[in-house]
Amino acid sequence: MAATVRQRPTRRQLEVLRAFVAVGSVLLAAHELGIAETTARQHLSGLYRRTGCLNAAQAAYWLGAGEAAGRQSQRLPPGIPTQSTH
């Protein structure tokens, strides 16, 4: 099985994720940031790929864990399933 290579999310991907977590809706987050909903969804999808998260809940958890540690974590905590690249 090949190892999953993870990259840091872009600054904009993190902005969209933070806005989404704050308001609880992609549409509202997009409105807050002055971008289209589809653009916000694309940023979130890119963030999921880069971090290995499967969904918004995992991404929010990843963001909270990284910010609580005072930095952006490169990995999800143990026990959180991630997408595999075969």
Write out the residue range of the structural domain in which residue 19 sits: 11-68
Residue 25 inside a domain? The answer is yes
Q: Categorize the per-residue pLDDT at 70 as very low, low, confident or very high, splitting at 50, 70 and 90.
A: low
Q: How many domains does the chain have?
A: 1
Residue 72 has pLDDT above 50, yes or no: no
Residue 44 lies in a domain: yes
Above 80 in pLDDT, residue 78?
no
49 Rama sector, left if φ>0, alpha if ψ -120 to 50, beta otherwise = alpha
| Amino acid symbol at 16 | V
The verdict on residue 19 lying in a domain is: yes
For 10-33, the pLDDT digits (tens) are: 999 999 999 999 999 999 999 999
Range 44-48 average pLDDT: 95
- For the domain that residue 18 is a member of, what is the CATH number? 1.10.10
Structure tokens at 17: 């994720």
In the predicted model, what is the mean pLDDT of residues 62-80?
A: 58
Residue 41 lies in a domain: yes
Residues 6+ apart with CB under 8 A from 6: 50, 51, 52, 74, 75
Give me the pLDDT at residue 6, please.
73
